[in-house]
């Protein structure tokens, strides 16, 4: 456990030190160095737990006898998966922030780095504790530290508005979490996960209505934080506001911690029952709703970070679809439940990589051009080619294009959803719903691809346009994190068997009813097979065999082009017998898929929808009596009267101090005598 403690101490030290350092470069170097140490410690701890297949626990302190709660740190395979994600993304974000923060000339690093470090600390705490009271402490800590990052640019109204929505919504959600925890404590008389499991088993048998209410509270708390619609309405207004490095951690890690909490509580902390089966279907339904609305709405966006924020809603829907199907079948068909849960958790892992990369790509565009509006930039591949390549890799990954990493996790989710048709013991309407969910998710993958083709084409292709700072080249500290994440997108896509084993171990840590890995998946370095029927593969994916002919074809095309030595020339844009400046004929980001955007944009009454997502809401007029309004203005009936009285008292004292020296000394003597009398009185007549 000392590696976990070193990680905590380095992050705390970074938060404290950067609170007093105003130099951005010095703060950036310090943060990058200390975060690298923290990430290395977390990585070593995770590998040690994985290789030894063990659970590491340590009780730091206990609150007994005040409360049956203790600061119990427990690291299992599920915690390890998220610690690996946190260590990777936190290092990339810190390294990227080093030079990137120079783009914010008027903002102090003391308003960014300390809260970023606190966000890292709280994220590690959320996945490490096994006591619901301390889980809530770290959960709230995570919310508050991230809120400070959302309102980093306090001078911008969108940042304040997004921060207010985020603050109110997430704290209402936390209230549901606290309510569920208090109810569970009243039955189990303990806050530890183990004792809560026993208490909830008693509630299921004796108070089924209370059990559903507890699950409802947990559901609201976690899906709101994850950004699942309709509870995640705040996300597109909050995620684009902080610097892109912080947005990268939001999209890559923080929203995924809500998925971790959902899986941990519904599958591990609370015992499996018919209740969780019902809520599994509800979770899957909410996931599909987010997939559809979030992705369609993203297609209509012209601002890069807002586009990615809507895709964060859509992508978390895939995770919930997999987890929901898994929860539904885990008790009646553990084999199918395992595939669905692994698919949802695998998508968490994949999405944390390419979603973080996409936000870093948007940050690079902002660093070079001062904007992330896709209508104001183009042709950036000429000045930042590596960023363009990594953006293309991330875009193909999030769309699930083989052989990149997004394909394998979506394949598992699709196949588990469609394979429910074979489950005769399940009511046919439920089977039909799951099949429809799978078909919708397949269709939306195509919409995702279209959306990110728009992003890549608008920002990087075509002629170089927009306000490009020629002197501000991307430093290596911003390019390297993007290259690391892009390479991981390729490697995890080409060799899925290695992350799949880690993810299966993490899934098994959340539920003891899963079959062995070898009975569900078989494969080697070349690919993976899914054994839906014993001794007979019904699903297989071998990306290496697919990649080899693709590489050969690419080499042939490149060779033909070089051998032919066809001349190339650049000329001015020429339309209809007349030269045009690029600004007159440029195909802007707003123009992509315009007929489709018109189709999905409409109004119902005074509410306008853009991509099925409401962008305006009718104003509500409320008349409040004047007496109530006076109560709401305590400055008029309390503050000013009290302040006037105090001012008069101070003016009187000032006049006393302005008297002659003799009278002033007399006042001091009288005051001293009065103090002595009071002391004598309160001492009972004994000095």
Write the pLDDT tens digit of every residue in 33-62: 999 999 999 999 999 998 888 888 888 888
Tokens found for residue 520: 């569900």
**86 falls within a domain:** no
Torsion of CA 458, 464, 470, 472, to 10 degrees: 20
**670 falls within a domain:** yes
With contact defined as beta carbons under 8 Å apart, do 414 and 507 qualify?
Answer: no
Decide if pLDDT at 659 tops 60.
Answer: no
Which range (35-44, 167-176, 622-631) has the least confidence?
622-631
Tokens found for residue 572: 């001015």
**645 falls within a domain:** yes
At 664 the pLDDT is 63
Where are the extended beta strands (E) located within 349-391?
none
CA angle 367, 370, 376 (to 5 degrees): 120
**678 falls within a domain:** yes
Environment class of 117 (CB within 10 Å of its CB; exposed 0-12, middle 13-18, buried 19+): buried
CA 549, distance to chain mean position in Å, is 37
Tokens found for residue 28: 């950036």
Q: Averaged over 643-656, what is the pLDDT?
A: 76
Where are the extended beta strands (E) located within 235-380?
none
Higher pLDDT among residues 450 and 682, named by residue:
450
Instruction: Give how many domains the chain has, as a whole number.
Output: 1
Decide if pLDDT at 9 tops 90.
Answer: yes
Decide if pLDDT at 285 tops 60.
Answer: yes
Environment class of 214 (CB within 10 Å of its CB; exposed 0-12, middle 13-18, buried 19+): buried
Write the pLDDT tens digit of every residue in 400-410: 888 898 899 99
Name residue, tokens 């346009």: 465
Helix (H, G, I), strand (E, B) or coil at 154: coil
Phi/psi at 604 (5° precision): -120, 105
Higher pLDDT among residues 649 and 325, named by residue:
325
With contact defined as beta carbons under 8 Å apart, do 131 and 192 qualify?
Answer: yes
Which range (1-15, 135-149, 593-607) has the least confidence?
593-607
Q: What is the DSSP letter of 535?
A: T
Taking Cα atoms as reference points, which of 276, 111, 250 lies closest to residue 170?
Answer: 250
Query: What's the CA gap between 404 and 397, in Å, rounded?
Result: 5
The count of other CB atoms within 10 Å of the CB of residue 156 is: 12
Rg of the chain over all Cα atoms, to the nearest angstrom: 29
Q: What is the DSSP letter of 617?
A: -
Torsion of CA 493, 495, 498, 502, to 10 degrees: 10
Q: How confident is the model at residue 325 (pLDDT cuts 50, 70, 90)?
A: very high
At 343 the pLDDT is 92
**648 falls within a domain:** yes
The count of other CB atoms within 10 Å of the CB of residue 609 is: 17
Tokens found for residue 628: 């109530």
Q: What spatial distance separates the first Cα and last Cα of the chain, rounded to whole Å?
A: 58
Helix (H, G, I), strand (E, B) or coil at 272: coil
Decide if pLDDT at 418 tops 50.
Answer: yes
At 247 the pLDDT is 93
Taking Cα atoms as reference points, which of 406, 608, 366 lies closest to residue 489?
Answer: 406
At 331 the pLDDT is 83
Tokens found for residue 617: 């809401």
Q: How many helices (H) and strands (E) does the chain have?
A: 27, 10
Decide if pLDDT at 579 tops 70.
Answer: no
Query: What's the CA gap between 357 and 391, in Å, rounded?
Result: 7
Phi/psi at 609 (5° precision): -115, 135
Q: Averaged over 616-623, what is the pLDDT?
A: 61
pTM confidence score: 0.86
The dihedral region occupied by 105, where left means phi > 0, alpha psi between -120 and 50, and beta the remainder, is alpha
Decide if pLDDT at 387 tops 60.
Answer: yes
The dihedral region occupied by 54, where left means phi > 0, alpha psi between -120 and 50, and beta the remainder, is beta
Its domain, for residue 657, covers: 630-682
Higher pLDDT among residues 199 and 351, named by residue:
351
Tokens found for residue 432: 């039909």
Environment class of 605 (CB within 10 Å of its CB; exposed 0-12, middle 13-18, buried 19+): exposed
With contact defined as beta carbons under 8 Å apart, do 632 and 626 qualify?
Answer: no
Write the pLDDT tens digit of every residue in 515-570: 888 888 888 888 888 876 654 456 788 888 888 888 899 899 888 878 887 777 77
Q: Averaged over 428-437, what is the pLDDT?
A: 85
CB-side neighbour CA atoms (13 Å) of 392: 11
Taking Cα atoms as reference points, which of 52, 53, 40 lies closest to residue 3?
Answer: 40
With contact defined as beta carbons under 8 Å apart, do 19 and 110 qualify?
Answer: yes
Q: How confident is the model at residue 573 (pLDDT cuts 50, 70, 90)?
A: low
Q: Which helix (DSSP H) or strand (DSSP E) does residue 268 occupy?
A: none
Decide if pLDDT at 89 tops 60.
Answer: yes
At 687 the pLDDT is 46
**667 falls within a domain:** yes
Helix (H, G, I), strand (E, B) or coil at 418: helix
Residues 41, 42, 45, 46: is their CA dihedral positive or negative? Answer: negative
Nearby residues of 508 by Cβ (< 8 Å), 6 or more positions away: 77, 514, 517
Decide if pLDDT at 683 tops 90.
Answer: no
């Amino acid at each position: 456990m000392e590696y976990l403690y070193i990680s905590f101490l380095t992050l705390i030290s970074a938060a404290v030190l950067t609170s007093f350092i105003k130099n951005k470069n010095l703060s950036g170097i310090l943060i990058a160095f200390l975060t690298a140490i923290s990430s290395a410690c977390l990585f070593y701890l995770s590998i040690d737990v994985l290789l030894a297949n063990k659970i590491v626990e340590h009780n730091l302190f206990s609150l007994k006898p005040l409360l049956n709660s203790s600061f119990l740190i427990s690291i299992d395979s599920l915690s390890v998966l998220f610690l690996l994600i946190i260590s990777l993304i936190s290092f990339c974000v810190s390294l990227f922030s080093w030079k990137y923060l120079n783009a914010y000339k008027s903002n102090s690093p003391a308003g960014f780095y300390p809260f970023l470090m606190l966000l890292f600390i709280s994220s590690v705490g959320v996945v490490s504790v096994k006591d619901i009271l301390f889980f809530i402490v770290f959960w709230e800590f995570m919310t508050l530290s991230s809120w400070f990052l959302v309102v980093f640019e306090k001078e911008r109204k969108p940042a304040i508005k997004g921060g207010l929505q985020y603050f109110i919504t997430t704290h209402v959600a936390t209230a549901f979490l606290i309510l569920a925890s208090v109810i569970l404590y009243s039955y189990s008389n303990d806050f530890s996960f183990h004792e809560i499991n026993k208490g909830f088993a008693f509630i299921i048998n004796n108070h089924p209505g209370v059990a559903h209410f507890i699950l409802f509270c947990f559901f609201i708390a976690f899906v709101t934080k994850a950004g699942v619609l309709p509870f995640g309405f705040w996300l597109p207004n909050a995620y684009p506001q902080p610097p892109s490095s912080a947005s990268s951690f939001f999209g890559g890690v923080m929203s995924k911690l809500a998925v971790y909490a959902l899986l941990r509580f519904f599958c591990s902390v609370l015992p499996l029952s018919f209740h969780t089966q019902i809520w599994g279907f509800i979770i899957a339904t909410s996931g599909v709703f987010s997939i559809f609305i979030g992705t369609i709405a993203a297609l209509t966006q012209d601002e890069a970070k807002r586009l990615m924020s809507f895709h964060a809603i859509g992508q978390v829907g895939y995770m919930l679809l997999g987890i929901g199907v898994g929860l539904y079948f885990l008790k009646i068909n553990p084999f199918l439940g395992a595939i669905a849960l692994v698919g949802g958790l695998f998508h968490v892992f994949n999405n944390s990589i390419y979603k973080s990369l996409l936000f870093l790509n948007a940050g690079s565009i902002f660093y070079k051009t001062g904007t992330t509006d896709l209508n104001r930039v183009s042709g950036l591949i000429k000045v930042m080619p590596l960023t363009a390549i990594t953006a293309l890799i991330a875009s193909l990954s999030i769309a699930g294009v083989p052989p990149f990493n997004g394909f394998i996790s979506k394949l598992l989710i699709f196949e588990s959803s469609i394979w429910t048709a074979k489950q005769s013991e399940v009511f046919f309407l439920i089977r039909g719903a799951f099949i429809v969910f799978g078909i919708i998710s397949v269709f939306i993958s195509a919409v995702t691809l279209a959306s990110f083709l728009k992003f890549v084409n608008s920002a990087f292709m075509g002629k170089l346009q927009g306000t490009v700072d020629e002197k501000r080249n991307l430093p290596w500290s911003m390019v390297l994190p993007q290259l690391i994440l892009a390479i991981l997108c390729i490697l995890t896509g080409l060799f899925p068997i290695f992350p799949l084993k880690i993810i299966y171990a993490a899934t098994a840590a959340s539920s003891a009813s899963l079959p062995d890995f070898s009975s569900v998946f078989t494969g080697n370095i070349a690919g993976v097979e899914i054994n839906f029927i014993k001794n007979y593969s019904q699903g297989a994916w071998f990306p290496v065999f697919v990649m080899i002919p693709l590489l050969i074809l690419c080499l042939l095309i490149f060779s033909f082009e070089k051998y032919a030595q066809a001349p190339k020339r650049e000329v001015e844009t020429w339309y209809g017998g007349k030269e045009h400046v690029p600004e007159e004929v440029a195909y802007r980001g707003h123009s992509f898929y315009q007929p489709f955007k018109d189709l999905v944009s409409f109004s119902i009454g005074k509410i306008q929808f853009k991509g099925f997502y409401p962008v305006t809401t009718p104003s509500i007029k409320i008349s409040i009596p004047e007496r109530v309004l006076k109560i709401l203005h305590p400055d008029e009936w309390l503050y000013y009267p009290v302040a006037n009285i105090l001012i008069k008292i101070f003016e009187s004292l000032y006049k006393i101090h302005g008297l002659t020296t003799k009278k002033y000394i007399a006042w001091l003597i009288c005051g001293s005598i009065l103090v002595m009398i009071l002391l004598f009185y309160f001492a009972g007549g004994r000095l």
